[in-house]
A and B are shown apart, each in its own frame.
Chain A
Amino acid sequence: MATLTPADTHAHDDHHGNYITCSKGIMSWLITLDHKRIGVMYVIATLASFLLGGLFALGIRTELIAPGETIMDAETYNRFFTLHGAIMTFLVIIPAIPGALGNFVLPIMLGAKDVAFPRLNLGSFYLWIIGAALTVYSMLQGGIDTGWTFYTPYSIEEGRQGVFWVGMGVFILGFSSIFTGLNFIVTVQRLRPPGMTWFKLPLFLWALYATAIIQVLATPVLGITMLLLAAERIMGIGIFDPALGGDPVLFQHFFWFYSHPAVYIMILPAMGIISELISVHCRREIFGYKMIAFSSVAIAFFSFLVWGHHMFTSGQSPLMNAIFSAITFSVAIPSAVKVFNWILTMYKGSISFTTPMLYALSFLVIFAIGGLTGLPLAVLSTDVQLHDTYFVVAHFHYVMMGSTLIAMIGGLHHWWPKITGRMYNERLGQIGAWIVFIGFNLTFFTQFMLGTKGMPRRYHDYQTGLGWSAETTELFHTYHFISTMGSYVMAVGFFLTAFYLLQSLVNGRKAPANPWGGASLEWECSSPPPHHNFDETPTPEYCYKFDHWVWNDEEQGYVRRDTAKS
């Protein structure tokens, strides 16, 4: 099975120490082929992007705190929400879980020494860096005020050079995503050690595998779209621009044909993390393993067939709208099934309210709201009313931010001891999780009300005047004010989290090999793991049986029952 073992690529490295101490110097990181180091670099890079995108978000919220121009004019505001959206989507939530956490834990959970193609893996990371650099460069070029969706013909008007550069950036980021997906597919297919059957795979790996399939199949469409945009712009071929005989709605089809599956590139790995967090921190075998695994694959399949639900008001034919509405409901089923499975996993568990578990519970509540508010958006007549209002903004933040990013941060806490070898301050972690949860709901739940009352999205202002009555402005002012306050609360939570995580690197307690009592393979190796992950090929067991790990006070962690007795 292990025909592609990349062990020879590590031949020049030392054998002693863990993956952090085994070689030194900045170059040993920058040209590393070790999936763990690449994962750590992704963690740093995506969190830095998260900070940048978050600062744009705070700018947006501050502008909206009161009617009228508060801190920036309309042009600046439009750039802020465009960059917030583009950075958060393409630089943070798409790569964060597969690139950062996936890279670090996938091979270890699988029982492999590395991913199948370590050089390609490093290549993916540098493609990400180039794409990110182009995106940041585009900010200096100006004219990035199109929204992250780049809808034509607005985005192809003259004077928007920046759009070209951000398009190039997205094109290159797409390849980064494709290569990561390809690498994961081959790794899971080919590098499973003897005994690691498909139904012994941790559910996070099922989720990453399903994600990888979408990444490989859907992302090329994004590249094609960007090339068509470039062809239209440079050669003047009419594709999307009605002035040249093109059709702007065609662009929306292309865009969402990628970007809807991309929504599942974002949420599926998050669901995988939640399966791990809940079973481990409840120390209880996951309920309905096969249902969860198959529902990941089902979601991946359906994700290709629902893109048209972003376009119910675009003027596409009512028949198409009806078909897309029907298929959209079908995605709701596997998602609902997963939620029920996670909840039943808590039943008769031994639930510990550690920080990762609090994030997992946050996820369940937020994802429930995010999923249920998807229903009125799938029902055709109510979508017409809610489309392009704050209701949609709130809905996708509940799913993308409240679910994906919360799961990502939960996962980061779960594997933090493994990645860094240090324990963070548990008490601060729990406080941070609560602050983020409260801030998040304050920020975004009010936006559901704004949306149903008719506040359109991407509005710089809601001052009384042209088409805005004084009553409306007053009502929206209240909602916007609460929402902005919520965003500040959330920011406090995130900065607190950044503080204690960094602090743990300086003076955190040394982490035991298995602080939570997890039974998947990464908890078998030391924290941090050795350079080669495993000294001998591990013998995989079903990773959702926790009986053979027992608490040990001396270790302040869990040890195998057989070693504990001896």
Chain B
Amino acid sequence: MTLTTLLLLASDQPGPIDTGNGFWFVPAATEYADTHDWVYSIVLWLSVFFFILIVGAIVKFAFDYRRRSNLEAAGSGPTHNIVLETVWTVVPLLLSAGLFLIGIDTYADFKTAPANCYEVDATAQKWVWQFDHRNGASDSLVLKVPVGRPTKVTLRSNDVLHSFFIPAFRVKQDVVPGRYGSVWFTPREPGIYQGHCTEYCGTGHSKMNFYVQAIPADEFDEVIAKDARWIDDYSGDRLVWAGARLFSRCASCHSLKAGERMTGPSMWDLHANWGKKKKVEVDGKLTEVTIDENYLLESIVAPWEKIVPTYLNQMPANFGDQLGPKELDALVRFVRQLDEVVDANGEIRDEPENATN
């Protein structure tokens, strides 16, 4: 089951992500995005006009005044023309001034969040996003927002620079450690939109993507309320499926395929060697450890303690703070019983229907 289909199951509304037939942008999904596209098209057509003028003149002159013989006299044309030179200085100046004014006018819209926004926090760290709703619901893959009501996302980074970018909304904001940032948007239609990290942040930069899911306003509160206690639906043997959902925040660095090297080691390899001994580095010295629940738990909450040789010590140190005991348990079970949940291609299987759901 791919992540997209997971999302499609999660909501009955959205269709596939539309890249659009247009030459330039993906379809605009907010009113601001329409305004932005209008500004862009002004710049574009102005540029096309000047480009045709420039290339047209070059081609015409190149043809008309091509040298026919080496013996022909040197060219002789005007060497200055004060009227012409004034015109081609002043006209671009006025056009630039106009573009500047349109630019700051629309930029002011982008910068000014309306009152009574739905507020949500986004925290960036290598190489995963975490979206925290005020009711405690938390997700690292999907940012759920209401349709037709402005959402304001408050941005924070735990480590290096990142950038929060949703192309369909035409919004982008760098996420700077030590500062808060914010963006706002009002999706018009229910749907799924792509989001990316656009400030280079290291090995997993290109894996630091997310989805935005716009949910109809009348369903939204219910969905978020349910998300806040989603893990309550899982217990006993079914906790392994909770682990599968939680694993989305690990998936940008850890593969579920045998032997696939990403930023961190493959979880399938760990699972396949469960109970066996394995060499790890402790303080730079090689030592042996048994692959079991305790090793895995320690590697999540204190990943710097035991490093798998050939990998770098670069896993964030704060997952222990972000995950509760039940969630940690679910993740440990997930890896221990990985073959129950994941097929041979490393794809997570469809979750069986839950009687309590």
By a beta-carbon cutoff of 8 Å, the part of chain A in contact with chain B is: 73-75, 78, 145-147, 151, 153-154, 157, 159, 242-243, 247-249, 282-291, 313-315, 318, 321-322, 325-326, 329-330, 332-333, 336-337, 339-340, 343-353, 361, 364-365, 368-369, 372-373, 375-376, 378-385, 387-389, 449, 452-454, 456-462, 464-472, 475, 517, 546-547, 549-551
Q: Closest A-chain residue to B102, C-beta based?
A: A379
Q: Closest B-chain residue to A156, C-beta based?
A: B160
- B149-169 near A? 1/0 per residue, CB < 8 Å: 000000000011101010110
- A352-B66, A457-B198, A458-B205 are known contacts; what are 16 more A-B pairs with Cβ within 8 Å? A74-B203, A78-B200, A313-B173, A315-B174, A318-B108, A329-B99, A343-B61, A346-B57, A347-B61, A349-B65, A365-B54, A378-B100, A382-B39, A461-B207, A462-B206, A467-B141
Interface check B16, CB cutoff 8 A: yes
Query: A376 to B36, alpha carbons, bound, how many Å?
Result: 11
**CB proximity of A322 to chain B, nearest CB, Å:** 5
Interface check B263, CB cutoff 8 A: yes
Can you list 30 contacts pairing A with B, beta carbon distance less than 8 Å? A154-B201, A242-B176, A242-B177, A247-B178, A282-B65, A285-B77, A287-B79, A289-B79, A343-B54, A347-B65, A349-B75, A351-B61, A351-B66, A351-B75, A353-B66, A365-B58, A375-B99, A376-B43, A380-B106, A381-B106, A385-B172, A454-B26, A454-B165, A456-B206, A458-B205, A466-B207, A467-B211, A471-B17, A547-B74, A549-B74
Query: A458 to B55, alpha carbons, bound, how many Å?
Result: 32
Choose among B73, B173, B203 the residue that contacts A315 (Cβ–Cβ < 8 A): B173
**CB proximity of B166 to chain A, nearest CB, Å:** 9
Choose among A78, A389, A467 the residue that contacts B198 (Cβ–Cβ < 8 A): A389
B-chain residues with CB within 8 Å of residue A465 when the two chains form the complex? 2-3
**CB proximity of A559 to chain B, nearest CB, Å:** 12
Interface check B295, CB cutoff 8 A: no
Q: A469 contacts B16, CB within 8 Å?
A: yes
By a beta-carbon cutoff of 8 Å, the part of chain B in contact with chain A is: 2-4, 16-20, 23-26, 35-36, 39-40, 43-44, 46-47, 50-51, 54-55, 57-58, 61-62, 65-67, 70-80, 84-85, 88-89, 92-93, 96-97, 99-100, 102-104, 106-111, 141, 159-161, 163, 165, 167-168, 170-174, 176-179, 181, 192, 194-207, 209-211, 248, 251-252, 261, 263, 312
A-chain residues with CB within 8 Å of residue B16 when the two chains form the complex? 469-471
Q: B88 contacts A336, CB within 8 Å?
A: yes
Contact status of A456 and B165, CB under 8 A, knowing A287-B79, A385-B170, A472-B19: yes
Q: Is the interface of B mostly helix, strand, loop or mixed?
A: mixed
Q: Closest B-chain residue to A75, C-beta based?
A: B203
**CB proximity of A220 to chain B, nearest CB, Å:** 26
Query: A157 to B54, alpha carbons, bound, how many Å?
Result: 48
Q: A284 contacts B194, CB within 8 Å?
A: no
A-chain residues with CB within 8 Å of residue B181 when the two chains form the complex? 315
Contact status of A154 and B200, CB under 8 A, knowing A325-B103, A348-B77: yes
B-chain residues with CB within 8 Å of residue A73 when the two chains form the complex? 261
A-chain residues with CB within 8 Å of residue B205 when the two chains form the complex? 74, 78, 458-460
Q: Closest A-chain residue to B263, C-beta based?
A: A74
Choose among B3, B92, B167, B178 the residue that contacts A242 (Cβ–Cβ < 8 A): B178
B-chain residues with CB within 8 Å of residue A283 when the two chains form the complex? 67, 74-75
Query: A332 to B35, alpha carbons, bound, how many Å?
Result: 24
A-chain residues with CB within 8 Å of residue B35 when the two chains form the complex? 381
A-chain residues with CB within 8 Å of residue B111 when the two chains form the complex? 318
Choose among A346, A385, A470 the residue that contacts B167 (Cβ–Cβ < 8 A): A385
**CB proximity of B311 to chain A, nearest CB, Å:** 11
Q: B206 contacts A382, CB within 8 Å?
A: no
Q: A326 contacts B100, CB within 8 Å?
A: yes
Contact status of A313 and B44, CB under 8 A, knowing A385-B170, A471-B18: no
Q: A466 contacts B103, CB within 8 Å?
A: no
Q: A350 contacts B65, CB within 8 Å?
A: yes
Choose among A452, A471, A472 the residue that contacts B24 (Cβ–Cβ < 8 A): A452
Q: B65 contacts A384, CB within 8 Å?
A: no
Choose among B159, B160, B161, B202 the residue that contacts A78 (Cβ–Cβ < 8 A): B202
Q: A74 contacts B204, CB within 8 Å?
A: yes
**CB proximity of A302 to chain B, nearest CB, Å:** 12
B-chain residues with CB within 8 Å of residue A472 when the two chains form the complex? 17, 19, 194
Q: A475 contacts B19, CB within 8 Å?
A: yes
**CB proximity of A97 to chain B, nearest CB, Å:** 23
Q: Closest B-chain residue to A448, C-beta based?
A: B24
A-chain residues with CB within 8 Å of residue B263 when the two chains form the complex? 74
**CB proximity of A357 to chain B, nearest CB, Å:** 9
B-chain residues with CB within 8 Å of residue A373 when the two chains form the complex? 47
B-chain residues with CB within 8 Å of residue A457 when the two chains form the complex? 198, 200
Query: A459 to B161, alpha carbons, bound, how many Å?
Result: 15
**CB proximity of B236 to chain A, nearest CB, Å:** 29
Contact status of A145 and B198, CB under 8 A, knowing A351-B65, A381-B110, A382-B36: no
A-chain residues with CB within 8 Å of residue B160 when the two chains form the complex? 153-154, 157
Q: Closest B-chain residue to A389, C-beta based?
A: B198
Query: A456 to B23, alpha carbons, bound, how many Å?
Result: 17
A-chain residues with CB within 8 Å of residue B74 when the two chains form the complex? 283-284, 350, 517, 546-547, 549
Q: A387 contacts B198, CB within 8 Å?
A: yes
A-chain residues with CB within 8 Å of residue B261 when the two chains form the complex? 73
A-chain residues with CB within 8 Å of residue B170 when the two chains form the complex? 381, 384-385
Q: B54 contacts A339, CB within 8 Å?
A: yes
Query: A352 to B66, alpha carbons, bound, how many Å?
Result: 6
Query: A322 to B74, alpha carbons, bound, how many Å?
Result: 48
**CB proximity of A95 to chain B, nearest CB, Å:** 26
**CB proximity of A463 to chain B, nearest CB, Å:** 9
Q: A454 contacts B194, CB within 8 Å?
A: yes
**CB proximity of A84 to chain B, nearest CB, Å:** 14
Q: B172 contacts A329, CB within 8 Å?
A: no
**CB proximity of B177 to chain A, nearest CB, Å:** 4
Query: A146 to B160, alpha carbons, bound, how many Å?
Result: 11
Query: A235 to B71, alpha carbons, bound, how many Å?
Result: 70
Q: A372 contacts B77, CB within 8 Å?
A: no
Query: A546 to B85, alpha carbons, bound, how many Å?
Result: 23
A-chain residues with CB within 8 Å of residue B210 when the two chains form the complex? 466-467
Choose among A248, A547, A549 the residue that contacts B177 (Cβ–Cβ < 8 A): A248
5 pairs of A and B residues whose beta carbons are closest in the complex: A467-B209, A454-B167, A348-B77, A242-B178, A284-B75
